[in-house]
Amino acid sequence: MKNRVVITGLGVVAPNGVGIDAFSKAIKKGESGITFHQQLADLNFSCCIGGIPEISEEKKLEYLTPLQLRGFNSSGILYGCIAGIDAWKDAGFSVDADSELDFDSGTVFGTGTSGVEKFREAIYKLDDNQVKRLGSTVVVQTMTSGISAFLGGILGLGNQVTTNSSACTTGTEAILMGYERIKNGQAKRMLVGSCSDDGPYIWGGFDAMRVMTYKHNDSPEQGSRPMSKSASGFVPGAGAGALVLESLESALDRNATIHAEVLGGNINSGGQRQGGTMTAPNAVAVQRCIKEALSNSNISANQIDTINGHLTATSKDGLEIENWTKALSRKGENFPYINSLKSMVGHCLAAAGSIESVATVLQLKEQFVFPNINCEDVHEEIPVLISEDKIVKQVLHTELNIAAKASFGFGDVNGCIIFKRYN
Amino acid sequence: MTKDELIAKLKTIVQPYIQDETAFANLSENTDFISDLKINSANLVDVILDVEDEFDIRIENDDMEKMISVKSAMDIINEKLAQK
């Protein structure tokens, strides 16, 4: 007997909203969190815009102790701790340094690179022959599992505490890893999510690959343009998303508020074959991932009401839509609604899948489809595949039961989750 | 520097790392960093870095291992200051 898995807690740190209430309001309004950053311009970046969440010094102290903040220089861990702690509290748990160890709760909290600014600081000291002057804070902030280690200690988690990493699929994969663990009875609750650092040292490599837009330095809010004819590359973002997954039985036992259900999903790889490369997806594998997610969830393609795509605003958006039409065997007017959160927050890299999943769950819980901004000029490849009405441009309040969320990442890796409204 | 001045300076340095307020309030020459103040052993290296900065001295590995109490810290600091 496999457990049903529900979502009882949500937390988010996004460029257009920190905290679930602010984020929910922002995505309904179509508010952009993309701004110009002088630091990027000073460093000769082609793309000088990005999405960076705003966190005050006071806010940091609500989540981390003055001791934890001494020598602290890891934006991803900060965002992850805020989102993770918020999700844990939203699920009805308290955060207490002396709480009893909970062997039934764990975390899978992913990231791409941890504490890149801290790492830079350490390398400068090392090269200056000052290894002894690094102090005790370098390892815990730069080890990839820094974020799960911080959260595990703050919350007193006694089940699996780990960090996954699979490029832009990381957040989506973390959710499915936690889901599997609960489904199989190995944990009652898993805090799942992902985070990503912000700034030049994490974004520079993408700027060098010329995959970020350089055409909107004077119009940052119009920069991120998924599905648009004038899309010219992605806009980098940062932040964290977190969900508390729980067995239905445990959630009902403690009378928890249930935001939605995770019906199932799939993770696969295109193996960098059949057109797939380190940076481009194998379409056969993408379609298979979506189809397997449906069968794993025991639903038919026609039951999907809305899709939260990967849709980054590079030249691959048309191919992604085509993959969805083929995987679902639905097109034109028969295609579900589709949107991309990246139009508002940019591409939050390792944090993308979890932030976008939080948005997807909010859509089911509050029964709306958030608008795509910056695609008033839909790319001509898209209307031949699906009706333009399905690309929602103003918030749409409508009945939704099932939503699909997919993420695709460098290394030709894919992830697709099926969420269902809980009622 | 008098003994009391040195203790006062050490008290300011260890404050961010202590986890036992009562022991901290009663800090004396005989206070132990780990068993009394409950400083996390990983943070001892940070205490030593802060001592180095405050007194403009360098503390080598051998001395570092001995610096586990207010008394031993005072001895090492005085020794290093005398060598300056």
Interface test with B, best of A136, A139, A143 (most B CBs within 10 A): A136
Contact A135 B17 (CB under 8 A): no
Q: How far apart are CA A125 and CA A128, in angstroms?
A: 5
- A15 and A148, same domain (yes or no): yes
Kindly report, residue by residue over A170-182, the tens digit of the pLDDT: 999 999 999 999 9
* CB pairs A-B closer than 8 Å: 16
Q: How far apart are CA B41 and CA A415, in angstroms?
A: 41
Confidence of residue A154 (pLDDT cuts 50, 70, 90): very high
Residue A33 is encoded by which pair of tokens? Answer: 């969190």
Give the range of the structural domain holding residue A77, as residue numbers without chain letter: 5-260
Q: Does position A233 have pLDDT exceeding 80, yes or no?
A: yes
Q: How far apart are CA B12 and CA B70, in angstroms?
A: 12
Domain count, chain A: 2
Strands A5-14 and A17-18: antiparallel
- A32 and A176, same domain (yes or no): yes
pLDDT score at B1: 84
User: Mean pLDDT throughout A150-179?
Assistant: 98
pLDDT score at A248: 98
- A138 and A28, same domain (yes or no): yes
Residues of A with Cβ-Cβ distance to B49 under 8 angstroms: 133, 135
- A274 and A362, same domain (yes or no): yes
Residue whose structure tokens are 């890299």: A349
Residue whose structure tokens are 């257009």: A16
Q: Does position A311 have pLDDT exceeding 90, yes or no?
A: yes
Q: Is A67 on the interface with B (CB under 8 A)?
A: yes
Contact A71 B46 (CB under 8 A): yes
The closest of A306, A311, A392, A382 to A346, measured between CA atoms, is: A311
Scanning every residue of chain A, which has its alpha carbon at the shortest distance from the alpha carbon of B16? A67
DSSP A23: H
User: Mean pLDDT throughout A154-170?
Assistant: 98
| Region B3-77: CATH code | 1.10.1200.10
Contact A391, A335 (CB under 8 A): no
Residues of chain B with pLDDT under 70: none
By three-state DSSP, how is residue B81 classified? helix
pLDDT score at B84: 84
One-letter amino acid for residue A140 of the chain: V
Contact B43 A136 (CB under 8 A): yes
Q: How far apart are CA B24 and CA B7, in angstroms?
A: 12
Q: Would you list the DSSP string of A179-214?
A: HHHHHTTS-SEEEEEEEE--SHHHHHHHHHTT-B--
Q: Does position A417 have pLDDT exceeding 90, yes or no?
A: yes
Of A202, A235, A260, which marks where a domain is finished?
A: A260
Confidence of residue A136 (pLDDT cuts 50, 70, 90): very high
Of A241, A260, A279, which marks where a domain is finished?
A: A260
Residue whose structure tokens are 């030593």: B48
Residues of B with Cβ-Cβ distance to A67 under 8 angstroms: 16-17, 43
Considering only CB atoms, B45 lies closest to which of A67, A70, A135, namely: A135
> Among A185-189, A315-319, A382-386, where is mean pLDDT lowest?
A315-319
Confidence of residue A423 (pLDDT cuts 50, 70, 90): confident
Q: Does position A1 have pLDDT exceeding 90, yes or no?
A: no
- A276 and A228, same domain (yes or no): no
Contact A66 B42 (CB under 8 A): no
Q: Model pTM?
A: 0.96
- A382 and A294, same domain (yes or no): yes
Contact A376, A393 (CB under 8 A): yes
One-letter amino acid for residue A373 of the chain: I
Q: Is B34 on the interface with A (CB under 8 A)?
A: no
Kindly report, residue by residue over A24-80, the tens digit of the pLDDT: 999 999 999 999 999 999 999 999 999 999 999 999 999 999 999 999 999 999 999
Q: How far apart are CA A322 and CA A386, in angstroms?
A: 9
- A372 and A240, same domain (yes or no): no
Q: State the burial class of residue B20 (Cβ atoms within 10 Å of its Cβ: 0-12, 13-18, 19+).
A: middle
Contact A66 B49 (CB under 8 A): no
User: Mean pLDDT throughout A311-334?
Assistant: 96
pLDDT score at A108: 98
ipTM exceeding 0.95, yes/no: no
- A289 and A227, same domain (yes or no): no
Residues of A with Cβ-Cβ distance to B46 under 8 angstroms: 70-71, 135-137
Chain B: give the shortest CA distance to residue A350, in Å: 30
Bridge partners (DSSP) listed for residue A415: A267, A407
Contact B46 A133 (CB under 8 A): no
Q: How far apart are CA A354 and CA A242, in angstroms?
A: 6
- A327 and A275, same domain (yes or no): yes
Q: How far apart are CA A187 and CA A162, in angstroms?
A: 14
Q: How far apart are CA A367 and CA A322, in angstroms?
A: 26
Residues of A with Cβ-Cβ distance to B17 under 8 angstroms: 67
- A231 and A82, same domain (yes or no): yes
Kindly report, residue by residue over A243-293, the tens digit of the pLDDT: 999 999 999 999 999 999 999 999 999 999 999 999 999 999 999 999 999
Q: Is A70 on the interface with B (CB under 8 A)?
A: yes
Please give the C-alpha separations between residue B49 and each of A132, A142, A211, A284, A404, in angstroms, as whole numbers.
9, 20, 43, 56, 52
* CATH code: domain of residue A248: 3.40.47.10
Q: Does position A220 have pLDDT exceeding 90, yes or no?
A: yes
Residue whose structure tokens are 């910056």: A374
Of A217, A239, A260, which marks where a domain is finished?
A: A260
Scanning every residue of chain A, which has its alpha carbon at the shortest distance from the alpha carbon of B39? A67
Q: How far apart are CA A325 and CA A334, in angstroms?
A: 10
- A238 and A300, same domain (yes or no): no
pLDDT score at A332: 98
